Structure 1
Amino acid sequence: MFAVLKTGGKQYKVQAGDVLRVEKLDAVAGDKIQFNEILMVGGETVTVGAPTVAGAAVVAEVIDQIKGVKTIHFVKRRRKHSSQRTKGHRQQLTLLRVTEVLAKGADKSGIAAAVGTAAARRVAHNAAAAPAPVAEAPAKPKRAAKAAAATE
């Protein structure tokens, strides 16, 4: 049985036992996670989602958090401007091993859903930035009340 899952803006065709390198997820080595955005499930019968297959999931185990290969971007200005710049980047990745493909019953599995690090940071930020109750300041007297008090 195979499935097509979506994570990190990419789609992956997986089956049990596959090892994947996906965009960094908020999990540590040894955790079991579950992908719920399944676009297609295949086997004896093929089920195509509209846009996702309801109740389907892919369960995976996190092997490690790794970095991808370094990409180097070299920029050089021509002629009379003797400037050059080198930029490098290493993508943060999560290494996973797919343990099983569930065609049904994903909501009853009890395994935590896979969450990207950006989504995890957003949730933590929103929880920390929850507005605290503000005590009201005492009401200031209006000018008319002041003027009336001054004339008396």
Structure 2
Amino acid sequence: MYAVIRTGGKQYRVAPGDVLKVEKVVADDNGTVEFSDVVAASSEAGSFADPAGAKVVASVVGDGRGDKILVFHYKRKKQYKKLQGHRQSFTQIRINEIVVGGNSYTAQ
């Protein structure tokens, strides 16, 4: 069983028990996150279920910031140089449950 969810402008293929890093999301008091923007869902190989009303429930493992990315602007012959750094914030989540069409799939 897997589902394709959309969060932070990206799409992720997730299955129950997967741990992945997504862009910063806000969790509720229990430390859980619910993704209702499900693009596709599949319960068996070669078939897709209707993703309308499907949701993916995950728990937050931790927060952090990614590696530094250097952005360097340079214009030759103009004596112009600019260096800028960026670190993207992320949330590490564990997929607990995928609910599709009234059926619930959890990690073993």
TM-score (norm 1): 0.60
Query: Aligned match of 2:83 in 82, 86, 91?
Result: 86
Aligned position for 1:77: 75
Q: How many Å separate the matches in 1 of 2:18 and 2:72?
A: 36
Q: How many Å separate the matches in 2 of 1:8 and 1:17?
A: 21
Q: How many Å separate the matches in 1 of 2:3 and 2:92?
A: 18
TM-score (norm 2): 0.82
Q: How far apart are residue 29 of structure 1 and its match?
A: 9.2
Moved over 6 A (4+): none
Pick 1 or 2: higher relative contact order, CA cutoff 8 A, min separation 6.
2
Give unmatched runs, 5+ long, in structure 2: 104-108
Give the alignment's Cα RMSD to 1 decimal.
Answer: 2.1
Aligned position for 2:48: 46
Q: Provide the identity percentage.
A: 39
Assess if the C-alpha contact under 8 Å between 2:69 and 2:85 holds in 1.
Answer: yes
Q: How many Å separate the matches in 2 of 1:75 and 1:30?
A: 44
Aligned position for 1:24: 24
Q: How far apart are residue 30 of structure 1 and its match?
A: 6.1
Query: How many equivalent residue pairs?
Result: 101
Give unmatched runs, 5+ long, in structure 1: 107-152
Query: Which is helix-richer, 1 or 2?
Result: 1
